[in-house]
Amino acid sequence: MKTRREFLRVLAVTSAGSLMASRFSPVSAAPTNIVAGSFPGVWQDGLKAGPIACYKARNGGDVALVFGTPSDFAQKIMATRDRPTIDVVIGTDADVFQNAQLGIIERMDPAKVPGVAGILPIFKDPFEGWAFAYDGGRDGVTVNTNKIKQPPKSWIEFTERVAKGQFGRAVMYPHLTATDGLAITWLLNRELGGNLNNPEPAIRRIREMKPYITKFYTSNAEPGTALTAGEIDMAAWTDGRTYGVQAAGHKHIEFFLPAPGSPMLNICMMKVKNGAESGWEYLNCATDPKNQAAWNQFFPGYYMSHKDIEYPPASRAKQDPTSLDKSFKNWIQVPWKDLARVRSTWMDLWTREIGA
């Protein structure tokens, strides 16, 4: 009779569209099949070209992908925490400390993931050993240049002009429950003179903007649909998503980076507690600069975290110059750990004042 762990693994892998043939003991020298989290769509193509191909070559086992959101992954792991159905998980910066608090991830062991030594400090030090950043992009302002001829040059200007109705009711802004929304609102609050314990400056400004916000979105796909359909003319959105819209033929949709820059937003890699030991090898493959470049060919413009990454030509052409020189001066470090501590307070104020 199948064990509960085996049964749950079959369910997880089947939902991802593939089956694991077998599962070997972590201490065995035999090839080991593992399960890793992934976002749906082209994300899986990047993983198959980079970390998964590497893992197969080094270990001989296979990697089954489970698709979902970071919260989906956390729920699956918590439901099977003694014998988890996922071995390696991905999530945003905000998810790292939440997962650590839940006790469902392990601290990185440099001896088991020596490749972490090549990850730039800004992509590992903030996570205190719980994770390393894999990739990321910029948050800025995306506009329909047929409608808006003078995009805002700073985040403050963006909010002031929206609040004055200069763009009409044709703007989207990320909801505070979304990681992008939390990061942008934190930066806006800082620029308006607030701090972690006082989010009122940003919440007050967003309340002034609300009459002209078509929607406070929670899915990063939503602004693209609304922009291409002509439902909105502007969104606080990401560069990579904008490039995807442009690649689909909408050249009039353009990304602009307001001063003083973008909050740094990453997708991070984590080892699940009690997951297969060979998950460390998968993470090691994810740190390799050649494997990161193989993934990046599917995401032109997204930055990667290894100090020696050589971007594919199509991606290099869209890179921010400060990601090419590895200084990342156009990004602003977000205090994710401290922000996680006050997030519920910020959300309570948002609910009372914005109500969206």
Number of domains in the chain: 2
Q: Are residues 176 and 207 in the same domain?
A: yes
- Say if residues 53 and 294 touch (Cβ distance below 8 Å): yes
Q: Are residues 118 and 19 in the same domain?
A: yes
β-strand pairing of 88-92 with 132-137 = unpaired
Q: What angle do CA 89, 348, 207 make, to 5 degrees?
A: 110
Q: Are residues 36 and 80 in the same domain?
A: yes
Give the integer Cα–Cα distance in Å for 272 and 256.
37
**Spatial CB neighbours of 146, under 8 Å, sequence gap ≥ 6:** 252
pLDDT attached to residue 30: 76
Q: Tell me which DSSP letter residue 31 carries.
A: -
CATH of the domain at 296: 3.40.190.10
Q: Are residues 146 and 102 in the same domain?
A: no
Give the integer Cα–Cα distance in Å for 278 and 294.
21
pLDDT attached to residue 356: 76
Q: Are residues 127 and 161 in the same domain?
A: no
In a domain, 352, yes or no: no
In a domain, 111, yes or no: yes
Domain boundary among 242, 260, 278: 260
- Say if residues 66 and 33 touch (Cβ distance below 8 Å): no
- The one-letter code for the residue type at 60 is G
Q: What is the largest CA-CA distance in the chain?
A: 67
Q: Tell me which DSSP letter residue 264 carries.
A: P
Q: What angle do CA 264, 265, 269 make, to 5 degrees?
A: 125
Q: Which of 60, 63, 35, 61 is nearest to 50 (CA)?
A: 63
Q: Are residues 99 and 200 in the same domain?
A: no
Domain boundary among 208, 233, 260: 260
Q: Are residues 289 and 240 in the same domain?
A: no
Q: Are residues 249 and 285 in the same domain?
A: no
Q: Are residues 123 and 12 in the same domain?
A: yes
Give the integer Cα–Cα distance in Å for 206 and 355.
11
pLDDT attached to residue 307: 97
In a domain, 297, yes or no: yes
pLDDT attached to residue 3: 45
In a domain, 295, yes or no: yes
- Say if residues 19 and 13 touch (Cβ distance below 8 Å): yes
In a domain, 336, yes or no: no
| Region for 128 from its dihedrals, namely left if φ exceeds 0, alpha if ψ lies in -120 to 50, beta otherwise | left
Q: Are residues 201 and 277 in the same domain?
A: no
In a domain, 162, yes or no: yes
pLDDT attached to residue 151: 97
Instruction: Tell me, rounded to whole angstroms, the distance of Cα 70 from its chain centroid.
Output: 9
pLDDT attached to residue 311: 96
* Number of Cβ atoms within 10 Å of the Cβ of 210: 16
Per-residue pLDDT in tens (0 to 9) along the chain, 356 residues: 444 444 344 444 444 444 333 333 333 357 999 999 999 989 999 999 999 999 999 999 999 999 999 999 999 999 999 999 999 999 999 999 999 999 999 999 999 999 999 999 999 999 999 999 999 999 999 999 999 999 999 999 999 999 999 999 999 999 999 999 999 999 999 999 999 999 999 999 999 999 999 999 998 889 999 999 999 999 999 999 999 899 899 999 999 999 999 999 999 999 999 999 999 999 999 999 999 999 999 999 999 999 999 999 999 999 999 999 999 999 999 999 999 899 999 999 999 999 97
In a domain, 121, yes or no: yes
Give the integer Cα–Cα distance in Å for 86 and 276.
9
- Say if residues 75 and 64 touch (Cβ distance below 8 Å): no
Q: Are residues 191 and 295 in the same domain?
A: no
Count of all residues that appear for the chain in the document: 356
Q: Are residues 125 and 151 in the same domain?
A: no
In a domain, 221, yes or no: yes
Give the integer Cα–Cα distance in Å for 71 and 305.
23
Instruction: Find the Cα–Cα–Cα–Cα dihedral 64, 275, 293, 332, rounded to 10°.
Output: 130
Q: Domain range holding 156?
A: 139-260
Give the DSSP per-residue string, 189-228: HHHTT-BTTB-HHHHHHHHHHGGGEEEEESSTTHHHHHHH
φ/ψ of 105, rounded to 5, equals -130, 160
pLDDT attached to residue 83: 94
pTM of the model: 0.86
Sole residue written with tokens 């002009």: 161
